[in-house]
Amino acid sequence: MTLEWKTAQDNLANSENRMLTLTLLASLLTTQPAVGAGQKVAYVDMARALNEVNDGKNAKAKLKKEFEARQKQLDAEQSRLKRKKADFDKRVATMRPEVRSQKEQELQRELMALQQTYVQMQRELMGQEGKVTQEIGERLKSIIGKIGDRDGYTMILNIGESVLYHKRHMNITDEVVTVYNKKFAKK
């Protein structure tokens, strides 16, 4: 999947989420006699919560470490190919045409293999990141639901998707992160 396709999918998903949030908010506001009459709304910055919970920090550090190790291997392979190409360029004038062609094809195959390895590494890391993000996100939603029930919120919105303005005292992200870290602390 290309970066452009992934970006287009993300934009579509974000647009759908924004529309759903706006539709829910509009229906809530139009069906109630007065805004605020018996309604209690809070906000969570899910992106910030994902980055601030201990599991998120640990996962991010682990993925970064894995990426750096794999990147180091790829860089070494790339350096080897550059040296091989430089050696080829020095000798190309003295090579017979069929040998030159064979060496060029060999270099091209090795370069393509390196590029495929890089793309595969990116896919694997994105898959791991997506899986971890989804797991943590589900736990966060569970905690948000419990806080919502406990504190009598009518609605808890994600700041990052469609809320353009909110009262700071209605932001419960810090509480969500604290409860998450207590509940899912590594023992």
Residue 25 lies inside a defined structural domain of this protein: no
Question: Would you say 145 and 17 are in contact if contact means Cβ atoms under 8 Å apart?
Answer: no
Q: For residue 10, what are the contacts with CB-CB under 8 A and spacing of at least 6?
A: none
Between these two residues, 94 and 185, which has the higher pLDDT value?
94
C-alpha–C-alpha distance, residues 74 and 117, integer Å = 8
- Judging by beta carbons within 10 Å of its beta carbon (0-12, 13-18, 19+), is residue 166 exposed, middle or buried? middle
Residue 112 lies in a domain: yes
Is residue 157 a part of any domain in this protein? yes
Q: Is the per-residue pLDDT at 134 higher than 90? A: yes
d(CA 144, CA 165): 20
Number of domains observed in the structure of the chain: 1
Residue 115 in domain: yes
Q: What is the mean pLDDT of the chain?
A: 82
For 48-99, the DSSP string reads: HHHHHSHHHHHHHHHHHHHHHHHHHHHHHHHHHHHHHHHHHHHHGGGS-HHH
Least confident of 50-54, 138-142, 158-162: 158-162
pLDDT band at 13 (very low <50, low <70, confident <90, very high): low
The C-alpha angle with vertex 105 and arms to 102 and 111, in degrees rounded to 5, equals 145
30 belongs to a structural domain: no
Model-level pTM?
0.65
In a domain, 14, yes or no: no
**CATH number for position 57:** 3.30.910.20
> Range of 155's domain?
40-183
Of residues 38 and 130, more confidence is placed in 130
Which carries the bigger pLDDT value, residue 163 or residue 156? 156
Any idea which residue has 């980055």 for tokens? 51
Predicted confidence band of residue 81 (pLDDT cuts 50, 70, 90): very high
pLDDT tops 90 at residue 157: no
| Three-class SS state of 33 | coil
In a domain, 148, yes or no: yes
Provide the Cα torsion 117, 6, 140, 66; round to 10°.
20
Higher pLDDT, 163 or 178: 178
The two tokens of residue 15 are 């647009």
Is residue 11 domain-resident?
no
